[in-house]
Structure 1
């Protein structure tokens, strides 16, 4: 991997290298490149906003944030975000990282698809979410210069990202549709099958055993 992209140095500690190696074992090139881009874009924003953040923790959060999409870390009942968050926390704790830091990474990954909340939380959480948003749906695209965007893509190419990413997210959502209720993940099911009806909160409330 490139040592630095547009002024952002890729962490090279033992933990960072081992995290990257673990994720590379299970993710395809598209997903791995996306994960590193999330770190770079997030770190760029953090520097631009003069935020104090732990670059290594942000890197691990970015690397693991989609690991729950792959078979080796897929569970039947948890949201894919939680699967990835659990894997990251276990990895960090096994490397002697204190629980508060491991929990911070867990929160960053678990909340990375949630809009409207992460930006008010600690920098590592906010920046993981920001990196995901710009790389996946283009939110904040114009906050980066064309040169910055080009350098990131040159180092970690997108390829056929849009189609491949939708496909892997859809496959994950279809395996456990109940976990998509109230989340952006339902959109992947609806995109594949417009006739699929998600649970409705009002219907759930009316169907409770309470009399009123």
Structure 2
């Protein structure tokens, strides 16, 4: 791995090296390179904004953020983000990392597909989502110079068919647990790949809830109490 790219380097620590080895052995080339790029986009963005952040915790969160999409979780019924967050927490716990730091990494991984919240949380949490958004959909693309973009892509190639590949990776990691996509944009993936997929409609859920079906609870029930 290049020691330094555009003022950013992967932490040179025992934990970071073991994180790299673990994810390298577990994920496909597409997901591994994507995860490292997410770290570089997030760290470069953090430097540009003069944000103080823990590079080791950010790197760990970035590397684990899509682990839940891998074959190992083919039987899981949790959100894939939670699988990755739990794995990161277990890894850090086994290395004696403090609980508050473990919680930070857990939140960074678990919330990276939840828009509108991470950017108001701790820097590491915000930067994981920012880095993922840059790499997947180009969010903030023009905030990076051509030299920065080229340096990262040269070191960790973004395949010509990356867009199709990451959609497939999302689909393969979530198609066995479609109910977990509710409330995120992940249901867009299943709807795009599977014409039989039915989204959960929150309005239908409200209007057909037990409160609507149980006629004992309502205006009369309120007065009875």
* TM-score, length-scaled by structure 2: 0.91
- Report deviation, 1:195: 4.4
Q: Which runs of 4+ in 1 moved over 4 A?
A: none
Checking the alignment, whether the CA contact within 8 Å between 2:75 and 2:176 is kept in structure 1 is: no
**Other-structure match for 1:200:** 201
Structure showing greater Rg: 2
Checking the alignment, whether the CA contact within 8 Å between 1:73 and 1:87 is kept in structure 2 is: no
Q: How does 1:151-166 map to 2 (within 5 A)?
A: 151-159=151-159, 160-166=161-167
- Report deviation, 1:201: 0.6
- Report deviation, 1:138: 0.6
Counterpart Cα distance in 1 of 2:197 and 2:94: 41
* TM-score, length-scaled by structure 1: 0.97
Counterpart Cα distance in 2 of 1:75 and 1:61: 23
**Other-structure match for 2:118:** 118
Checking the alignment, whether the CA contact within 8 Å between 1:170 and 1:189 is kept in structure 2 is: yes
Counterpart Cα distance in 2 of 1:49 and 1:70: 33
- Report deviation, 1:87: 0.2
- Report deviation, 1:193: 2.3
Aligned length: 212
Deviations 1:133-173 (A, max 9, x none): 00001110000000000000000001121111110101122
Q: Give unpaired runs (5+ residues) of structure 1.
A: none
Counterpart Cα distance in 1 of 2:94 and 2:181: 30
Checking the alignment, whether the CA contact within 8 Å between 1:108 and 1:128 is kept in structure 2 is: yes
Q: Give unpaired runs (5+ residues) of structure 2.
A: 219-225
Counterpart Cα distance in 2 of 1:148 and 1:2: 14
* Residues 146-155 or 157-166, more deviating: 157-166
Counterpart Cα distance in 1 of 2:187 and 2:174: 7
Checking the alignment, whether the CA contact within 8 Å between 2:53 and 2:123 is kept in structure 1 is: yes
